[in-house]
Homo-oligomer: A and B are copies of this chain.
């Protein structure tokens, strides 16, 4: 069975996954990038951006496995970029440069139609504007038997959680405070009924928590 998984999704201690005020300079909102400090210091992250060094250990293990058995990705439109409203042109091609770190078909959920965008390294962005279920169906097909990773942001993850469509959710509770921003757990009243915590591992300043969908008898 193919799964929809969320991996390495970082939260501030007060529950936010990004700060307000996203812009070209501040992909995670103003001051929001600190919740990724734990990830950015790992060897896997260094490798991803073509650098030597970085930490090994629990945080790095989670980062190293984040793309394991992933055949397609789904992103929210704001995770793809800071552009809002109808696409005026095709200039914006994501935060990641010519060779994005996905190397799969990527389905960007948006209300605004746009043609598919083929990048280097096997990544193609498809803009899906008929809802989260359609994006998931297309991603499962594209993944050819492998799992699908839902990258974020919170607005999109929340909707898949509410619909009970996520099979595994790995969150990273950091020691950073944001005060405001996008909450992951908001209006997710079904969480206690549909999900359970299956793993808690701490690594210094952050705690990795894995939630899984409850098995029905």
Contact = CB atoms under 8 A, between A and B. Distances in A.
Interface of A: 13-15, 31, 173, 175-180, 185, 188-193, 195-197, 200-202, 204-207, 209, 211
Given A31-B192, A207-B207, A177 B197 contact: yes
A193 B179 contact: yes
A143 B163 CA distance: 51
A190 B190 CA distance: 30
Nearest to A34: B192
Given A31-B192, A178-B192, A192-B178, A173 B14 contact: no
B191 A14 contact: yes
Contacts of A178: 191-192
B197 A190 contact: no
Contacts of A205: 197, 200
Contacts of A209: 13, 175
A200 B189 contact: no
A204 B200 contact: yes
A193 B200 CA distance: 29
Given A191-B14, A192-B31, A200 B185 contact: no
Contact of A176 (B14, B189, B197): B197
Given A202-B202, A202-B207, A13 B177 contact: no
A190 B178 CA distance: 9
A202 B196 CA distance: 19
